Amino acid sequence: MERKALVFVRKMFKNQSVVGAEVGVAIGTNALRTLKCMPNLRLLYLIDPYQHYPKWTSTKAKDRRFWPEDLEITKNKAKRLLTYFEDRIIWVFKCFEECACEDVEPLDFIYIDGNHDYDFVFRDIELARKLVKKGGVVSGHDFRPSSYSQDSLEVCRAVNDYCKKHDIVFSHEYEDWWFIN
């Protein structure tokens, strides 16, 4: 199923050529779905260091794909999964906060699904706003206000706090959130 924020992006840009980024690629299934559903997506930056983060308190830490010794396997699976689209992707094997404006061309949209810790999400939104063009879309995953998952609650709190601090009206549907930059 296509993620709701990306449905919004697809409808907003219609057939215009767009450049986007995904922060937190993991095994690559969302990137694959995005590339298949958006033939007008000229370039997708895939940003994931594939390394264990400090403060990794995520419930995903219980998932073997995210154990330090298995992250290289996860990275290789993602690279194989996305081989067909290698002419439309650029891998950035860095933490998002290490990415500079020089690393990527101005973005039409970004989709954040990296570390779900409050501080990481808040900082990821700040960084995303610097990389996304005015009028572009900043978005992300795991926004579930009624969830019992600590991950989702951290994401919700960070998105709410950031948007409130900067007087931004955001939308959310199912597990996604987004706003116009």
- DSSP of 47-98: E---SPPTT---GGGGSGGGSGGGHHHHHHHHHHHTGGGTTSEEEE-S-GGG
Residues whose CB is less than 8 angstroms from the CB of residue 136 and which lie 6 or more positions away in sequence, other chains included: 107, 108, 109, 110, 180, 181
3-state secondary structure of 7: helix
pLDDT at 98: 87
| Model confidence pLDDT, tens digit, residues 55-71 | 555 555 555 445 556 78
Burial of 56 (0-12, 13-18, 19+ CB in 10 A): middle
Fold classification of 17-180 is: Rossmann fold (3.40.50)
DSSP state of 105: P
Q: Which H helix or E strand runs over 160?
A: helix 150-165
Q: What would the mean pLDDT of 74-103 be, rounded to a whole number? A: 90
pTM for the whole thing? 0.91
pLDDT, tens only, 151-162: 778 899 999 999
